[in-house]
Chain A
């Protein structure tokens, strides 16, 4: 299968420290791949290499089979939405959105028509002559997106585009983005540290750690078979021990009946939206997390009986060694 964008064995070192370590990634036409990783895992560097802003020490980037090594960023036709937007503060909204069209040499009327079109698309119709400094964070983010989309890039890269926004705004923009990607059939690489964002937007999710892609797959694949214990923990699956992952929804807690001894004591209870996360301490001292989707739930200190649905238990390998061939990285 030929991919539109192909990253092959790319490595980057900063002052001797590896920032990217033999990263490979293939993105199909019309596919959205989200890259999920903690800060410092190399996500941003990966985007900069694809955009041509960072020269890789080894490896190569291909678009449509063409090796991009000698192609400078301004001839790549790749759009990038920067973290914190990097808008042109010396130009108004229209000036920002039209920039790429002007560079392409479009005629003036085509430019203003396309700019209007894109601003309409991101919900900023009528903002043409506003100064970007007067816009709210969410509006600036939309301008950054419109600016990158306007010249119809072959691949769109997004670097934590929602990172600086507050939670409610983020949720709304996330929905808008998902719709937009769907409607335009955009090919995109979307970098984030937020697993909810990664899972909601990505056709596939690549998990990065210490400069390497440790796993890539559909959200369902990742959720059901995390590559190793750290990936499982990073995805929010707390019950990992000795290569055994117990999914929290497979754990059932039952109040002890009279005379029954039970298996554990409730350590803490936290409600997160509709679900209640209950952490219990088993009698052998280990911790286990359960998710209770009910209004009624045990309280800290209660003794409970624990039942585990065997279907919810997965074996996970130990942490993937950096030198091992990351079999999952091929997709």
Chain B
């Protein structure tokens, strides 16, 4: 059994815990205080029993359920193809399908504004479609990977016992896939439940989820108490979903797998099989590719022709912002870089603490909390927590990267910890027997392995911070907007040029994000789950 020196454990536990306490638990306490305990609060019940709240809760839940069902239906054909067939470009397909998932929600929302016909542009339908677009990767990756590990012969055994194709699907394949489907669905449900940017932009005035309503109450109506009560309600929903999702994921990991991909995957041979592969992947490619292509097209559209006008206008001051759009791009990059530094430092240390043999499951769970707490709640919590001395940080520019880091840290832990756990303990034992001290073992064995994972995590953290909208929209000062915030402001202004500039900024944001992810994707590490 390996034991770490005490100072190292103090560092690995202390830094993440201090960070979480100050920037997550304390704002959370502020929300509780504002919503339930403050003198002017009275009863939180009047917010909860308000018919408007009931309407918002109802919409939040049903759109999340419907989005999940739609996502699974859209993803299943591709998951089937990736789980059953080996074909040229299979790993490229697996990589490309993740791109929509890492795109900023604001970009996705704009892409659907661009592609959908006017009557469908706002309302519940575009919300569901955008959620399916965004989350399809989760289902394709989790279910497809699991499918590829299911022993082909189980279904064949059913065939020799008299089960036709449909009965095999119903009685054997679906029950065996159930744990993967459930885990993927729970994660999609969670993301749909906490979706903010998409709902805010595509929902129009009539459709608001809890997230959007928290923003409405806090920013537009200045009813901080109502916002706090709704935030706590949302936290309850989300905590429940996270708990279910984590349990389902743990169950999935524990499911015995029989086949290895090499035995399971087959090349498509008959014309029908080839048609299934091409059709499923082609359909998905159209669903994912067309909105993004139209988004790019619209950013160049001026009047009846095409031009660079929208991009040229980005350098000049605009009435929509207190800064030029170019400055927003710069702000975004600086903030995201700072957030990445914080997230990698905090998340990396936490990953070491969590992955150690005597690692803490409590810290593991605690670190996942911000993932569930929803970005809007974090941003709102910062606003009401850091407004009085000695913690009066109002309009401190560094609050933005800290909030973004909070959102990105759980992802860093999720990427780095499995890599550390996957190191064979005997490698460390061998190093120790060859004379390496505990610190030396970590430096010689753990760090080189974790280094690649940390690089991947940094890429993801950068992409997430770049596109972060829910928390940033509360915290970014008017004279220092980030890209997503600038896009949102442009959308709120009338005029063709404003909309065109929003599209142009979205294209730039998409390009920077995609470039980051492509760079990261060249680093091959063992990845757990859906990231």
Partners in one complex: yes
> Which stretch from A4-12, A33-41, A80-88, A277-285 is at the chain B interface?
A80-88
**Which of B159, B171, B256, B258 has the most CB atoms of chain A within a 10 A radius of its CB?**
B159
For residues 140 through 193 of chain A, which have their beta carbon under 8 Å from a beta carbon of chain B?
147-148, 151, 153
Given A86-B151, A90-B176, are A72 and B164 also a contact pair (CB < 8 Å)? yes
Least Cβ–Cβ distance between A92 and chain B, in angstroms: 13
Say whether B303 faces chain A, with CB atoms less than 8 Å apart: no
Residues of B within 8 A of A73 (CB): 156, 159-160
Please, how many angstroms separate the alpha-carbon atoms of A84 and B258 in the complex? Answer: 10
Chain B, residue nearest A89 (CB): B256
Report the count of interface residues on A (CB-CB < 8 A).
Answer: 28
Q: A322 contacts the other chain (Cβ, under 8 Å)?
A: no
Q: Which residues of B contact A153 (CB under 8 A)?
A: 160
Closest to B176 in A: A90
Q: When A88-B172, A90-B175, A133-B256 are in contact, do A74 and B154 touch as well, CB less than 8 Å?
A: no
Per a CB cutoff under 8 Å, which of B154, B156, B163, B258 touches A103?
Answer: B163
Our count of residue pairs bridging A and B at CB distance below 8 angstroms stands at 74
Q: How far is the CA of A51 from the CA of B171 in the complex (A)?
A: 20
> 1/0 contact trace for B151-186 toward A, CB 8 Å?
101101111111110011001100110100000000
In chain A, residues 31-62, which have Cβ atoms closer than 8 Å to a Cβ of chain B?
Answer: 51-53
Contact B163 A51 (CB under 8 A): no
Contact B156 A100 (CB under 8 A): no
The CA-CA distance from A133 to B154 in the complex, in Å, is 14
Say whether, besides A88-B172, A89-B256, A74 and B163 are in contact (CB < 8 Å): yes
**B-side interface mostly:** helix
Q: Are B162 and A80 in contact (CB under 8 A)?
A: no
| Chain B: interface size category | 20 to 34
**Smallest beta-carbon distance A183→chain B, Å:** 22
Residues of A within 8 A of B258 (CB): 84, 86, 89
User: Known: A86-B153, A89-B256, A103-B167. Contact between A79 and B175, CB under 8 A?
Assistant: no
Given A86-B153, A88-B154, A133-B256, does the pair A78, B163 have CB atoms closer than 8 Å? Answer: no
Q: Mark A199-237, 1 if CB is under 8 A from B, else 0.
A: 000000000000000000000000000000000000000
Instruction: With both chains docked as a complex, state the minimum distance between the C-beta of A131 and any C-beta of chain B, in angstroms.
Output: 11
Interface residues of A in 263-313 (CB under 8 A from B): none
Tell me, yes or no, whether A114 is within 8 Å of chain B by CB.
no
Contact with A along B125-162 (1 / 0, CB 8 A): 00000000000000000000000000101101111111
Q: How far is the CA of A74 from the CA of B163 in the complex (A)?
A: 5
Chain B residues, Cβ within 8 Å of A104:
162
Lowest 8 CB-CB distances: which A-B pairs, in order? A100-B161, A103-B162, A86-B153, A73-B159, A80-B160, A90-B175, A86-B157, A74-B159
